[in-house]
Amino acid sequence: MQEQYKKEIFFCGRIKNPPNFFVALFFTVINKFLFAILLFLSLQGCVGTAMTGASAVYNHYTIEHQVKNQETSFHLSQVISQDPEFTGSDISVASFNYQVLLVGQTSSEKLRQKAAALASNAPYVKHVYNFITIEKPISVEQCTKDDWITTQIKSKMIASDEIDPNKIKVVTEDSTVYLLGYVTHKQADIAVNMARNTTGVKQVVKIFKYIVIVDK
């Protein structure tokens, strides 16, 4: 039983298999390279008539933020994983719009608070939402269910004409869905309903920054 438990932590434990630094660096460079190509093509009018200089600047803003958020997640995963106190913990880090979400399981309130403190000191972080629970790591079976829930919700968003899937990050942990994003109130309601109506979801947590559209 003990050996099986260790295998589950190894398989499902994101903290025990954090992204390698060189992998993080690789994706950061690739993202910036792809942005440079997109910006060049858009300014040359090669991406279609709908792409203007203004929209290129917007895309620059979006991609630059995505890169920085990825850097934050990679950095924080490395910091936590290299701390021996977190051995046996299962912590997942997500960053969107410089808002960091911590989910997973650890063995004590002290470690729960320590993870939050480390996140607060990570690059670019503006706020930390700490949903780490004090309990044993969830099972491999539950991890698989969580991944499937996330996939279903993302698929719904991609298929929808009312939501930009790039503006909402979906994280599922132990059947609880966390939605992070920069959206209108209407888009938030649509996203929440999509999550609530997905098989296997027990709870939905909204972590949104709202866009307010003012009529003339």
What residue spans define the domains of the chain?
Answer: 2-134, 140-210
What pLDDT is attached to residue 56?
43
Q: Given the DSSP bridges, would you call strands 168-173 and 176-183 parallel, antiparallel or unpaired?
A: antiparallel
Q: What percent of the chain has pLDDT over 90?
A: 59
Q: Given the DSSP bridges, would you call strands 176-183 and 203-210 parallel, antiparallel or unpaired?
A: parallel
Domain boundaries 2-134, CATH class? mainly alpha
pTM: 0.75
| CA distance linking residue 137 with residue 5, whole number of Å | 9
**What confidence tier does 86 reach under pLDDT thresholds 50, 70, 90?**
very high
CATH topology of domain 140-210: GMP Synthetase; Chain A, domain 3 (3.30.300)
CA distances to 1, 75, 184, 189, 211 from 214, rounded to whole Å, are 60, 38, 11, 19, 10
What pLDDT is attached to residue 43?
47
**What confidence tier does 33 reach under pLDDT thresholds 50, 70, 90?**
low
Give yes or no for a contact between 96 and 169, defined as CB atoms under 8 angstroms apart: yes
Q: Which of 137, 134, 146, 154 is nearest to 174 (CA)?
A: 146
What pLDDT is attached to residue 11?
39
- Would you say residue 115 has pLDDT above 80? yes
- Would you say residue 60 has pLDDT above 60? no
Dump pLDDT digits (tens) for 161-183.
999 888 999 999 999 999 999 89
The arithmetic mean of pLDDT across residues 155-160, rounded, is 95
